[in-house]
């Protein structure tokens, strides 16, 4: 009897040990699955951030130099800042959109003056719809293509009233559906009207300077191609600032004709600046002799 009890205990102990061994084996077999998941996530990260992604050399130093050169905010694009507190947020957004529509092919000081006249007249969707084409033309003249812009503004106002409760679209796609609004305006409008930077606004200055500074991997023939080329490598936290930096820089130093490379802090970093030589027409003044 005692022996049978002893054998029973041994068999139970053996069964318990075998079950523990089997459980341990099962746990070990699970481990490679977690390792596979880790490697998969690492591969996904590599796809999101390719190791061989093109980045222009010395871009961070050049970017900081741009900040230094633009520190005083004295370019034409920096002017016209005003107190917006007396306008509703909806009116402010409409002012932003209208100003961008007027800015195409127009100097900043002309756009600023036209917007000032519109605000004094009453720059709301309904009021501009009630304004005659002749009167609206006189208010925005002499912006570039002012007759066409009268039609575009009136058409946009009607769409905003009918489809957006007199507000503006909240997407780039919606903004671009308005006649007279292109991608550059749409991205800038999203940034300034909705405080949502979803892309870089590329105008003629940004388009020109990005190419001159070697900030594009390939030649970009249109501003939209330049936008995609910049966004491919420029960190997103710089997208909001880069337009302001390059536009003012293009108005004051990196001019379309006769860029002032001699005054540029990026002269040694910029492919265009490296080829620059002083104009022979500008003679260095000779010091006057002091009278005895």
The alpha carbon of residue 206 and the mean position of all alpha carbons in its chain are separated, in whole angstroms, by 11
Do the Cβ atoms of 187 and 223 come closer than 8 Å? no
| Residue from 81, 149, 184, 236 carrying the catalytic annotation | 184
Q: What is the DSSP letter of 285?
A: P
Do the Cβ atoms of 156 and 178 come closer than 8 Å? yes
Burial (CB count within 10 angstroms: exposed 0-12, middle 13-18, buried 19+), residue 249: buried
Neighbours of 151 (CB within 10 A): 15
**If we measure between CA atoms, which residue out of 214, 205, 183 comes closest to residue 259?**
205
Active site residue 260: no
Burial (CB count within 10 angstroms: exposed 0-12, middle 13-18, buried 19+), residue 74: exposed
- Residues forming the active site: 184
């Amino acid at each position: 009897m005692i022996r049978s009890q002893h054998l029973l205990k041994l068999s139970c102990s053996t069964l318990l040990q075998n079950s523990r061994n089997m459980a341990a084996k099962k746990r070990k077999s699970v481990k490679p699955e977690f390792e596979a998941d880790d490697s998969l996530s690492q591969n996904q990260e590599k796809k999101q951030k390719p190791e061989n992604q093109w980045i222009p050399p010395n871009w961070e130093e050049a970017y900081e130099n741009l900040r230094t050169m633009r520190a005083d905010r004295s370019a034409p694009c920096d002017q016209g800042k005003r107190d917006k507190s007396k306008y509703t947020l909806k009116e402010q957004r409409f002012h932003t959109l209208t100003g961008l529509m007027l800015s195409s092919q127009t100097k900043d000081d002309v756009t600023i003056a036209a917007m000032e006249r519109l605000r004094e007249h009453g720059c709301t969707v309904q009021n501009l719809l009630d304004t005659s084409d002749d009167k609206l033309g006189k208010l925005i003249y002499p912006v570039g293509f002012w007759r066409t812009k009268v039609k575009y503004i009136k058409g946009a106002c009607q769409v905003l009233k009918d489809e957006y409760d007199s507000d503006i679209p909240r997407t780039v796609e919606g903004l671009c559906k308005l006649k007279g609004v292109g991608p550059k305006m749409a991205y800038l409008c999203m940034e300034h009207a909705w405080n949502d930077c979803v892309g870089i606004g590329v105008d003629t200055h940004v388009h020109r300077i990005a190419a001159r500074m070697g900030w594009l991997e390939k030649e970009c023939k249109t501003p939209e191609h330049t936008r995609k080329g910049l966004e491919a490598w420029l960190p997103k936290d710089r997208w909001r600032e880069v337009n302001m930096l390059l536009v003012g820089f293009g108005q004051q130093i990196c001019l379309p004709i006769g860029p002032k490379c001699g005054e540029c802090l990026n002269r040694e970093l910029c492919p265009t600046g490296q080829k620059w030589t002083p104009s022979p027409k500008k003679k260095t003044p000779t010091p006057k002799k002091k009278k005895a």
